[in-house]
Homo-oligomer: A and B are copies of this chain.
């Protein structure tokens, strides 16, 4: 099950604030100037794909994520690793460093992360 770019904008809103109605979601979308119709179409597609649940509330539906943001992030990164790097982590991270200049903070976080991964392993 794949969430497209447009759908992701919708998921982002609902991950941030689960249980919104369609109109509320539409009003919280940032950056795009979408008609509310567009947002409703995306919501419907996400429900169809099993990414959202639609609970009737009065005359409308409230939308709740069925997949966690983190779950989606993990699977997307995994797919990319497989597609472009034969599933290998290090080359992916190396290209990431090329792609976006890492701040000192980033580097420190990465250091901690690697340390933690190493510790977890033993």
Q: Which residues of A come within 8 Å of B, CB atoms?
A: 5, 8, 70, 72-78, 80-85, 87-100, 102, 104, 106-107, 109-111, 113-114, 117-118, 121
Q: Which residues of chain B are near A100, meaning CB under 8 Å?
A: 78, 81-82, 87, 89
Could you say how many copies of this chain the assembly holds? 2
Bound-state CA distance A66–B82 (Å) is 23
Bound-state CA distance A34–B87 (Å) is 24
Bound-state CA distance A88–B118 (Å) is 21
Q: Which residues of chain B are near A98, meaning CB under 8 Å?
A: 74
Query: Judging by beta carbons under 8 Å apart, are A121 and B107 in contact?
Result: yes
Query: Judging by beta carbons under 8 Å apart, are B111 and A95 in contact?
Result: no
Name the distance in Å between A82's Cβ and chain B's nearest Cβ: 8
